[in-house]
């Protein structure tokens, strides 16, 4: 499998298969939203678009990163989101890096969005598909965010070597600038458990696939057969 690891500004062509990685925190949050029963997540281009979608669909839940803001129901925090009942709901998500990365590759034939919590399921989709070339979009810090790069490298390795251990990759994410900023309160809209929740490998037994639906980029879970669900906790 040919792999390349690119930051968002480096995306100049349309990849065939793209894995968009945002560990802290967009795609950990998205996975928790599905874990809490959400049906789908619409990835918004802007805060204004998120609010316009919410105005058109008052039953949708609008979510942004940073501090809480008028018109939004939730912030981009797995620790805060894990107690929400999202059964059957549509979530609209807009964040600084994660959602931007997926929208940058929306023309790709397959777009997977990932963090450690769905790493094995994502690797299994790549294995099953026997993709020749995979572009990993390292969304944080213009491709330099080590939590995203470590997770991307873990998924890439696991797609070809199923026995690859997560520990060394998770350790790099633990030591990343994003982890420190979340722990130190530099970033807003944070729960004390966020970093730990972002580092939990294979918490969920599904991959997350984004497709264009009526010109909106929509993320849905794709359950991977024979992947045991993590014990509830
Ligand atoms: O919510 C996040 O962790 C970040 C934004 S910030 O750095 O906290 O302001 O967004 P993401 O797109 O999930 O990396
Ligand atoms: Mg991030």
Q: Is the pLDDT of residue 228 over 90?
A: no
In this predicted structure, the answer to whether residue 133 has a pLDDT above a threshold of 60 is yes
**pLDDT at residue number 229:** 66
What pLDDT is recorded for position 148? 98
Residue 177 beta carbon below 6 angstroms from any ligand 1 atom? no
Any atom of ligand 1 within 6 Å of the Cβ of 79: no
215 within domain boundaries: no
pLDDT band at residue 174 using 50, 70 and 90 as cut-offs:
very high
Distance CA 147, CA 168 (A): 11
What pTM did the predictor assign? 0.96
Nearest CA to ligand 1 atom 2: 25
Kindly give the number of the ligand 1 atom that is closest to the alpha carbon of 99: 12
* Count of CB atoms situated within 10 Å of the CB of 45: 14
Let me know if residue 140 belongs to a domain: yes
List of residues 6+ apart from 172 with CB closer than 8 A: 146, 147, 149, 150
In-domain check, residue 224: no
Give tens-digit pLDDT for 76-94: 999 999 999 999 999 999 9
pLDDT of 230? 63
Has residue 86 been placed in a domain? yes
Q: What is the mean pLDDT of residues 13-20?
A: 97
* pLDDT per residue as tens digits for the range 106-115: 999 999 999 9
Residues in Cβ contact with 181 at an 8 Å cutoff, skipping those fewer than 6 apart? 187
This model of the complex carries an ipTM of 0.92
Is ligand 1 within 6 A of the CB of residue 122? Answer: no
pLDDT, residue 233, reads: 42
The Cα angle at residue 79 between residues 45 and 122, in degrees rounded to 5: 60
How many whole angstroms separate alpha carbon 201 and alpha carbon 187? 23
Range of the domain at 101: 2-208
Q: Is 81's C-beta closer than 6 angstroms to any atom of ligand 1?
A: no
With a pLDDT cut of 70, the percent of the chain lying above it is 97
Q: Is 90 in the pocket of ligand 1 (CB under 6 A)?
A: no
Owner of token pair 């023309």: 107
Residue of the CA atom closest to atom 8 of ligand 1: 187
Q: What is the pLDDT of residues 41-82, one digit of tens each?
A: 999 999 999 999 999 999 999 999 999 999 999 999 999 999
What average pLDDT does range 115-135 have in this prediction? 94
Kindly state whether residue 231 falls inside one of the protein's structural domains: no
Q: How many domains does the chain have?
A: 1
Mean of the per-residue pLDDT values for the chain?
96
Domain containing residue 25: CATH number:
3.90.1560.10
Q: Is residue 227 part of a domain?
A: no
Atom of ligand 1 nearest to the CA of 76: 1
Confidence of residue 217 (pLDDT cuts 50, 70, 90): very high
CB of 64 shorter than 6 A to ligand 1 = no
Domain-located, residue 226: no
The predicted pLDDT at position 130 comes to 83
HSE (side-chain half, CA atoms, 13 Å) at 29 = 28
Kindly report the backbone phi and psi dihedral angles of residue 60, in degrees, each rounded to the nearest multiple of 5, phi listed first: -75, 155
Å from CA of 25 to ligand 2 middle: 5
DSSP state of 189: S
User: Given ligand 1 and candidates 187, 190, 193, which is best to mutate, with the most ligand atoms within 8 Å of its CB?
Assistant: 187
Question: Residue 232: which pLDDT band, with cuts at 50, 70 and 90?
Answer: very low
Tell me whether residue 90 is in a domain.
yes
User: Which atom of ligand 1 is nearest to 139's Cα?
Assistant: 14
Q: How far is the CA of 60 from the centre of ligand 2 (A)?
A: 23
């Amino acid at each position: 499998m040919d792999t390349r690891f690119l930051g968002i500004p480096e995306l100049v062509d349309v990849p065939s298969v793209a894995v968009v990685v945002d560990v802290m925190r967009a795609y950990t949050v998205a996975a928790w939203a599905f874990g809490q029963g959400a049906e789908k997540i619409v990835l918004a281009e802007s805060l204004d678009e998120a609010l316009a979608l919410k105005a058109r669909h008052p039953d949708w839940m609008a979510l942004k990163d940073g501090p809480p803001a008028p018109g939004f129901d939730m912030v981009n925090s797995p620790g805060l989101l894990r107690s929400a009942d999202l059964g059957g709901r549509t979530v609209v998500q807009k964040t600084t890096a994660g959602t931007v990365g997926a929208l940058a590759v929306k023309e790709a034939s397959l777009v997977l969005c990932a963090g450690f919590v769905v790493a094995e399921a994502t690797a299994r989709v790549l294995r099953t598909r026997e993709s020749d070339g995979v572009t990993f979009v390292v969304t944080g810090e213009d491709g330099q965010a080590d939590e995203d790069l470590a997770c991307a490298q873990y998924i890439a390795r696991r797609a070809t070597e199923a026995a690859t251990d997560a520990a060394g990759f998770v350790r790099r994410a633990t030591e990343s600038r994003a982890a420190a900023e979340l722990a130190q309160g530099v970033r807003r809209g944070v729960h004390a458990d966020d970093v730990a929740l972002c580092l939990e490998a294979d918490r969920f037994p599904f991959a997350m696939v984004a497709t264009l639906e009526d010109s909106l980029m929509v993320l849905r879970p794709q359950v991977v057969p024979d992947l045991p669900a993590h014990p509830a906790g």
